[in-house]
């Protein structure tokens, strides 16, 4: 049950934020503190302009941050009702020659974001992009003697820079410092940039670790004390301590420290939140005896996967969050990923996910796990993922519904007052527990009296309920109904709806439109026909 004494403690803290919501985007940005992360009682929030901010994100395609393609980015994000763009900055473009920096793409990206009232998440494509070194400058690619690559088990070099090379680290760090220093110069006041991703799905594709002579000597030695302390393991060699996971753990150790040093250097120039995304380890479609993880082949070895997350949280303190890129719409897998990455020491953030309709309900599921944001991949008009003028349909429906009240949703989630339901196969009915009050959520229509609710053909139902007071709730949903009741009683028994007010938030203020009653409330609040709606409901007992 919500502890309202705790909510009251937030009241004074967020009065300024409520006032700020009445002003324009520009005036907000120019008068507020820098973006940062906060945690309270296990709940997380990304603070932007002094108040919790919900990222309704859209990541553009990998090669879309160029002057020729950026004009095809903005219309797609506006149609989607996104409030945040995720866009890459490429090391090869930023530093085409050693020590010579070209910030033109950065400047255009920041300028365009402001012109379209979007916040910006900068993605640094440096040493790693999807487990390879494809975005490093040509002067790095063509000088392997100075910038060494990983050697595989056979001793052959592969398309990945070694995380054990100080030269590689120094080169990436120098470029990242330049990027963050430039962002500080152009954005320290406006705070258009709210997050920075350090690398992209880091790790090794093609080998579990570096098998160079120097690496092999270190691998044969003792596990460093900082790692054994962090993981509470015994001392010994890597193989003695970690067994079959030794190669991957060895790579993760060096990789986490490498990226942490880059992030720390960047924060010294411009201290805003930084995160890492991760290529997950997915279920293996094989016989049980063949379901063995294969780091470096199945996924990039060394990244903050489900198994390496504790190591990364301990050894990369300059990384504020680790966000999973989720490209499986299997309900059990997606739910497990959310549960794994929603930790007291890690804000849940989905920086990439599928752009298909089957992924859209997971936004509601993520919110129910406390997510600070969500971002489908591949949203622009370049023709790579969508034809010009098209885009994600179900994700757009989500964002159109929640965008006007995104700040309120972020605050309610930070307060622990929000719960969600997502339709699952074979589960067309779910229950949300708010202590005194229970919310029965049913998916699919028609919902005939005395009959089992049908569910939807594609399991697209979702609902959101947030407690505003002891007997007051904010309710919305898609292809769902929500009915309230008390413990042990059915809806309508010894309880009543005092008011059910349809409305919307405008600049942080609730604007009522009409009262629901009769057919609109007798069988729960139905979110089915017509435009998607939001209802503020007050309940009573008798």
Residue 21, pLDDT > 80, answer: no
CA 401 to chain centre: 19
Instruction: State the Cα–Cα distance between residues 290 and 507, nearest whole angstrom.
Output: 55
Q: Which two three-digit tokens encode residue 529?
A: 């026909």
Tell me: the pLDDT tens digits for 330-371? 999 999 999 999 999 999 999 999 999 999 999 999 999 999
Which residues are CB-neighbours of 143 under 8 A, at least 6 positions away? Answer: none
Residue 15, pLDDT > 80, answer: no
Question: Domain spanning 53-416: which superfamily?
Answer: Glycosidases (3.20.20.80)
Report which listed range, 14-18, 107-111, 424-428, is most confident: 107-111
Confidence band for 494, pLDDT divided at 50, 70 and 90? very high
Tell me: the pLDDT tens digits for 389-398? 999 999 999 9
pLDDT of amino acid 450: 86
User: Which residue, among 325, 387, 380, has the nearest Cα to 64 in the 3D structure?
Assistant: 380
Dmax (CA) of the chain: 80
Q: Where in the chain is the domain with CATH 2.60.220.20?
A: 421-541
Q: Where in the chain is the domain with CATH 3.20.20.80?
A: 53-416
pLDDT of amino acid 7: 43
pLDDT of amino acid 529: 77
Tell me: the pLDDT tens digits for 169-197? 999 999 999 999 999 999 999 999 999 99
pLDDT of amino acid 5: 42
Residue 2, pLDDT > 80, answer: no
In percent, the amount of the chain with pLDDT more than 70 equals 94
User: How large is the average pLDDT for residues 104-126?
Assistant: 98
Looking at domain 421-541, its CATH class is: mainly beta
Confidence band for 446, pLDDT divided at 50, 70 and 90? very high
Instruction: State the Cα–Cα distance between residues 93 and 103, nearest whole angstrom.
Output: 9
Report CA dihedral (327, 328, 331, 337) to the nearest 10 degrees: -60
Confidence band for 27, pLDDT divided at 50, 70 and 90? very low
Residue 3, pLDDT > 80, answer: no
Tell me: the pLDDT tens digits for 398-428? 999 999 999 999 999 999 999 999 999 999 9
Tell me: the pLDDT tens digits for 262-292? 999 999 999 999 999 999 999 988 778 888 8
Higher pLDDT, 1 or 328: 328
User: How large is the average pLDDT for residues 114-120?
Assistant: 98
Contact 307, 400 (CB under 8 A): no
User: Which residue, among 403, 398, 334, 355, has the nearest Cα to 60 in the 3D structure?
Assistant: 355
Cα angle 84-87-90, degrees, rounded to a multiple of 5 = 160
Confidence band for 6, pLDDT divided at 50, 70 and 90? very low
Confidence band for 530, pLDDT divided at 50, 70 and 90? confident
What one-character-per-residue DSSP string does 123-172 give?
Answer: EEEEEEETTB-TTS-HHHHT-TTTSPEEE-TTS-EEEEE-TT-HHHHHHH
């Amino acid at each position: 049950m919500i502890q309202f004494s705790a909510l009251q403690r937030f009241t004074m803290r967020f009065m300024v934020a409520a006032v700020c919501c009445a002003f324009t985007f520009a005036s907000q940005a120019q008068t507020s503190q820098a973006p940062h992360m906060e945690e309270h009682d296990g709940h997380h929030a990304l603070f932007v302009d002094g108040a919790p901010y919900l990222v309704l994100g859209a990541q553009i395609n990998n090669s879309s941050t160029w002057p020729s393609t950026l004009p095809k980015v903005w219309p797609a994000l506006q149609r989607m009702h996104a409030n945040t763009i995720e866009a890459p900055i490429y090391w090869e473009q930023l530093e085409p020659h050693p020590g010579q920096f070209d910030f033109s793409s950065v400047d255009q990206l920041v300028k365009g974001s402001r012109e379209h009232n979007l916040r910006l998440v900068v993605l640094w494509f440096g040493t790693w992009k999807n487990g390879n070194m494809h975005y490093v400058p040509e002067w790095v690619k063509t000088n392997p003697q100075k910038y060494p690559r990983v050697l595989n088990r056979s001793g052959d070099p592969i398309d990945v820079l070694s995380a054990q090379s100080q030269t590689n680290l120094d080169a990436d760090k120098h470029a990242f410092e330049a990027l963050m220093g430039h962002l500080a110069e152009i954005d320290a006041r406006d705070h258009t940039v709210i997050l920075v991703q350090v690398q992209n799905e880091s790790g090794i594709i093609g080998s579990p670790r570096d098998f160079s002579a120097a690496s092999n000597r270190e691998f044969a030695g003792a596990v460093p004390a900082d790692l054994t302390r962090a993981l509470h393991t015994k001392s010994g060699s890597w193989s003695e301590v970690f067994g079959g996971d030794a190669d991957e753990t060895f790579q993760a150790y060096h990789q986490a420290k490498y990226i942490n040093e880059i992030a720390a250097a960047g924060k010294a120039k411009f201290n805003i939140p930084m995160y890492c995304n991760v290529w997950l380890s997915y279920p293996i479609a094989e016989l049980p005896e063949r379901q063995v993880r294969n780091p470096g082949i199945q996924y990039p070895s060394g990244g903050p996967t489900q198994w390496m997350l504790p190591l990364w949280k301990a050894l990369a303190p300059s990384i504020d969050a680790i966000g999973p890129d989720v490209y499986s719409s299997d309900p059990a897998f997606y739910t497990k990923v959310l549960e794994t990455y929603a930790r007291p020491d890690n804000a849940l953030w989905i920086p990439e996910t599928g752009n298909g309709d089957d992924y859209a309900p997971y936004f509601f599921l993520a919110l129910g796990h406390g997510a600070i944001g969500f971002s489908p991949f591949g949203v622009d008009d370049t023709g790579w993922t969508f034809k010009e003028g098209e885009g994600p349909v179900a994700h757009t429906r989500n964002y159109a519904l929640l965008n006007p009240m995104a700040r309120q949703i972020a605050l309610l989630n930070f307060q622990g007052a929000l719960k969600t339901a997502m339709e699952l196969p074979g589960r067309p009915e779910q229950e949300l527990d708010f202590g005194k009050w229970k919310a029965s959520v049913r998916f699919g229509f028609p919902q005939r009296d005395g009959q089992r609710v049908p569910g939807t053909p594609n399991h697209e139902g979702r609902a959101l309920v947030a407690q505003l007071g002891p007997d007051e709730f904010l309710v919305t949903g898609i292809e769902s109904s929500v009915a309230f009741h008390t413990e042990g009683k059915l809806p309508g028994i010894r309880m009543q709806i005092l008011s059910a007010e349809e409305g919307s938030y405008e600049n942080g203020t609730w604007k009522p439109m009409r009262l629901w009653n009769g057919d609109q409330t007798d069988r729960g609040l139905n979110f089915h026909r017509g435009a998607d709606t939001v209802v503020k409901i007050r309940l009573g007992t008798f």
